[in-house]
Structure 1
Amino acid sequence: MTDSPTPKAQHIAHTLLARAHSPDSAEQQFTERVKQKPLFLRPTSPSAADNRSRRRLHRLRKKEYFIRHQRPRSLSAREKRTSGLYDLPKDECKHAIFKGLHALWVGYMQEILDLKIEGKSGLVTPASHGAKLVSADFHGAEVEVVRSRCASRVGVKGIVARDSKFTFEVVTEKDEVKTIPKEHSVFRFKVPFPTSTPSESAEGQQSQQGPKPLVFELHGSQFENRATDRANKKFKWRNIDYL
């Protein structure tokens, strides 16, 4: 005696569709909408520890992105002083070394004032060249203190090695570095006319028949700005307290 095969159990969805539709329609809807429809399973919810690690990883990646794309942070004033950025090596503070810088500065000022060879140039007036003079860079200028409230500063002469906001650091002919505050001090500097030989123009050697150099006086109290800040600053006329 052979056992008859056990009938296969019918799907519950097929049974329910057969109650509401014809056999053909129920078979078609069961095949298309139930049997062949993809089943999307919801993933298991992450634990609290997984959420924390994911947020931490997101913060780290965001921080790395901004660090990679941001500009380098500039050094603070304390870090600059600690690193010795403002220190002038004593072996290099020689007046003869800074003569070359002074020669470059003379050519720079001659270009600003529109000076030509043999003095054939336009008239230098405060209205035409005043704004250029106050915005100029004085690194390399040879300045002399002509008036000051501190009598010991009067007569100090040298080439400017550093033009800071409140002071001039000059190298004298005796190879000494002196720091002169700008406040309550008047500085004098000269700009010679260009000559046919650049060496004579650089050293300021003018013949007796040639034109005299232009002489300017700089009031330090009205000049307390960094060289980089003066380039884009608009200066106004102010009353000057004579010393």
Structure 2
Amino acid sequence: MDEALVRATIPHDLVKVLGVKINSKVEAFTQAFLKNSLQHHTRHDLKTVLSYKAVILGYTRPKKDKLKRNRKKAKGLSAQQKRTMKIFQIKPEHQRYKLFLPLHELWRQYITDLCSGLKPTSSPQFVQQKLLKADFHGAIITVVRSKCPSYVGTTGILVQEFKHVFKIITKEDKLKVIPKRNSVFAVEINGFISHIYGSKFEQRASERSAKKFKVRGTIDL
């Protein structure tokens, strides 16, 4: 559309038809307001300023709140803080074998489902591969070999697994801390007896579940 047509005044013969009222006071106010608002354009007349004024359209990124910028992410407790607060310590009154029997039953159900039912026809290699990445909290384990002879024969429910040690509760309601390194553990599940070689098992349960194990002859758990 031609700009001249847009700026042209309405013909007098159409004023009555369209019902447009031209108020001289309104026009005078508008001119005075624009002139006052554009005082810094003193070198040009009002018509020139309005005709050739450049209007830049763009997106202005909102300023970030300084409080949000200075806000730091919440950090978890350090290992030293956890030890100081004794988060992972089991209280003496809770070191009872019977209290963890329900956990053992849940583990048996979990490991049976994980190994597709643990049928008599199940392949030992298949079961061992599943156990490599399984969580053993609740399993009954027995130390069958160890560099320290006093650990051999110790049996109990695994209540805590760390990177380098197993913590088990024995039937005598005693908490035993068994190092993984230089120890071999036996786990019995529905007739399947698997051996865990602690030296090859020095990882947290969460890390072990994501690790890829290579099968080389016999599988060391």
Aligned equivalents of 2:89 and 2:203: distance in 1?
20
Gaps of 5+ in 2: 1-30, 42-62
1:24-77 deviations in Å (ceiling 9; x for gaps):
xxxxxxx99x96562259xxxxxxxxxxxxxxxx99x43534637x4x311110
Matching residue within 196, 207, 215 for 2:193: 215
* 1:204-243 equivalences in 2 (<5 Å): 213-237=191-215
Question: The residue matched to 1:231 in structure 2 has which SS?
Answer: helix
* 1:1-12 equivalences in 2 (<5 Å): none
Question: The residue matched to 2:76 in structure 1 has which SS?
Answer: coil
Contact (CA 8 Å) 1:114, 1:122: kept in 2 or not?
no
Is 1:125 aligned to residue 124 of structure 2? yes
Greater RCO structure (CA 8 Å; 6+ sep):
1
Aligned equivalents of 2:144 and 2:160: distance in 1?
19
Which residue of structure 2 aligns with residue 62 of structure 1? 66
Aligned equivalents of 2:216 and 2:201: distance in 1?
12
Which residue of structure 1 aligns with residue 134 of structure 2? 136
Aligned residues: 167
Question: The residue matched to 1:217 in structure 2 has which SS?
Answer: strand
* 1:1-243 equivalences in 2 (<5 Å): 38-40=38-40, 61-65=65-69, 67=71, 70=73, 72-115=74-117, 119=119, 122-126=121-125, 128-192=126-190, 213-237=191-215
Aligned equivalents of 2:185 and 2:36: distance in 1?
95
TM-score normalised over the length of structure 1:
0.61
Aligned equivalents of 2:195 and 2:38: distance in 1?
90
Cα pair distance change 1:81/1:36, threshold 3 Å: closer
Two-structure CA RMSD over aligned residues (Å): 2.9
Which residue of structure 2 aligns with residue 202 of structure 1? none
Gaps of 5+ in 1: 1-30, 42-57, 193-212
